[in-house]
Structures are given as structure tokens and as C-alpha cells.
Amino acid sequence: MPNVHLASPTSAGGSPLRIRPDDLTGEPTRSLLALHLAGMQASSPPGSVFALDLSGLLQSAVTVWSAWRGDAIAGVGALKALGDGTAEIKSMRTHPDHLRQGVAAALLDHIVAEARARGLRRLSLETGSGPGFDAALALYRGRGFENGEPFSDYVPSAFNQFLHVAL
């Protein structure tokens, strides 16, 4: 798999979206991940935030990709191997300047393709409930993810939900 993947979505100016592995050393990626973590904390009840911080994303089981338009970061997403033929999608976030331009869909498609290339049999994710999560849920469900049982070490609550897709 090449290091840089050109995705089909383009901005109004026609700039292609480039998806590449990210080592988390760049300030644009770190800033977007900090925005993601702050957003999850603001829209989730106490004790219900399972977003990975920078140290969690640097674990060897986690691969992070960032999406770029020119020199601007457009989004980020990660895949966490769970060691049993499954993996979890983590840290999906589109930069506010690039919302509703296909960034999240391109990142999700890239992560799913990578999971298939790795021979994984299932992808899962944990997310919240409520209006702040509706767009993400629509994206995941549109790509075949279905609600199901908790996985890994998650404990169900009235707030969180678990989605899975067989590969």
C-alpha cells in the first residue's frame, strides 16, 4: 500500500484530498487531535469519553492517518488492532474548515480498505448518542456498520453505543 493515498473528494477549489500515515509529530495533527478530545469531553457525560489521547495513539497497536488538502490538515482517523482478527476505529475527526466535503467518508473508506488488506474480519467502534453524534452515525451506518454488543473492555451505558461491520 502506498504511503500517500489520493482520495476522490475535492474542495471547491479542486484540491485533491491526500491521505497518509501520520507519526503525530506535526502541530496540525496534534492540534486537530486536541480539538477532537476537547469535543468529546464537551459532548459526553463524565466517565463516558473513550477517545485516545496522544499517548494512546502512539501505542504500537494503533495506526493513524491524516487527510490533507494542500498544506492544510482536513481530517484524521485511526485503526487500533485488538489482536483477535478485529480492530477498532478511533479518533475520527474532520477539521472544522473541511466539514461536509467528504473527508470523513474518505478516511473511513481508507481505514476499511487497510483493515481488509491486513486480513481483519471485523471492525468495531464505540461512539456516543445525541445530536452531536448524528452525522458520524449516519456515515458509519451508510458504510454498513450496525449497532451491536460491547467489545473489548467497554461497558455499556445509556450514552454509548457500539457499531460493527464484518469485512
Instruction: Quote the cell numbers at residue 62.
Output: 494503533
Q: Looking at the 3D structure of the chain, how many domains does it have? A: 1
Distance, in Å, from the CA atom of 41 to the CA atom of 61, rounded to the nearest integer, reads: 24
Residue 76 falls inside a structural domain: yes
Per-residue pLDDT of 90-139, as tens digits, reads: 999 999 999 999 999 999 999 999 999 999 999 999 998 888 889 999 99
Q: Which residues form the domain of 32?
A: 5-121
* Bridge partners for 79 per DSSP: 63, 89
DSSP, collapsed to helix, strand or coil, labels residue 75 as: strand
CA angle at residue 84 from 83 to 87, to 5 degrees?
70
Residue 89 falls inside a structural domain: yes
Question: Which CATH number belongs to the domain containing residue 74 in this structure?
Answer: 3.40.630.30
pTM greater than the 0.85 cutoff: yes
End-to-end CA distance of the chain: 18
Per-residue pLDDT of 28-60, as tens digits, reads: 999 999 888 777 666 665 666 667 788 889 999
Residue 105 falls inside a structural domain: yes
Distance, in Å, from the CA atom of 70 to the CA atom of 151, rounded to the nearest integer, reads: 37
